[in-house]
Amino acid sequence: MNRLIVIFVALFCACTLQAQNDSLRLSTTSHMIGVGAADVLDTYLSQEKFTGIGFTFLADIERERNGSRWHTVMQHQARFASLHDRSDTEKELEGAYDFYWGRYYTLTSHHSPLTTHLGFLINAGAGFIYNTSNSNNPAQARAHLNLMPSARASYRFTLWNRPMKLCYELDLPLVGIMFSPNYGQSYYEMFNRGNYDHNIVPTTFVSAPTFRQQLMLNVGLGRSFTMRIGYLGDYQQAKVNNLKQHIYSHNVMIGIVRRFQLINYRP
């Protein structure tokens, strides 16, 4: 009888632990700031290329369930840059916000030092470019929606008795839509007169070969606190409506990573 009670208690504890593990959710968040070089060309405003210094904020949120190979990613990226032309006689300001939502499938075992993921991102973004010297059409509005295949890889190792992880992410364009005035069309015509001229443009990896990459190093400083440093490269390009545009940014990033475990108790 006592042996049966012990077995029953053991089975009950095992089932309870399994139920908790099945509902275990892991959340990893990072907040980073960065600074680096920016390169902007928009032929609607000027035929000149503008370069300068840009600042970037990046927040990354990952959610996964224990035992699942799928995880969800959300990223918020904001950027602002102050730019000048080659002769330093004209100035431009550029700013943008991008939201990324994606799903990834883990190809390798969670216990392996090298982990690889394949998935996709949905990217929605809006921004502006303002030329301080133009009196007619001084600003250009930007908006886009993209579907982007994405790949991630990470490698865990130990150095100087500290856990570390090297991470790489590459996001490539597939299809999307973007807003763009047509060549010679003013914003007054679009918004005051309502003269539509192919201003919502379908895009592909040919007409808008945009891609983004991240190379980050996580350095463990505690059980739930990690420092992250690395590189963020964002290369946005488009050639639509007889207009060319590119916005390149190269940023050195630094920030912190927090990892949480949330357990949902099932009734």
**CA 180 distance to own-chain centroid:** 22
> Cβ(25)–Cβ(264) under 8 Å?
yes
Per DSSP, the three-state class of 186 is coil
Q: Which of these, 142, 173, 166, 186, lies nearest to 226 by C-alpha position?
A: 166
pLDDT in tens, the chain (267 residues): 444 344 333 433 443 334 344 445 788 899 999 999 999 999 999 999 999 999 999 999 999 887 788 999 999 999 999 999 999 889 999 999 999 999 999 998 767 899 999 999 999 999 999 998 887 778 999 999 999 999 999 999 999 888 999 999 999 999 999 999 988 888 877 877 777 878 899 999 999 998 999 999 999 887 767 999 999 999 999 999 999 999 999 999 999 998 776 555 444
Q: Give the separation between CA 236 and CA 137, rounded to whole angstroms.
A: 22
pTM, 2 dp: 0.84
Tokens at 81, concatenated: 């840059």
Hey, how many other C-beta atoms are within 10 angstroms of the C-beta on 183? 12
Q: Give the separation between CA 152 and CA 247, rounded to whole angstroms.
A: 23
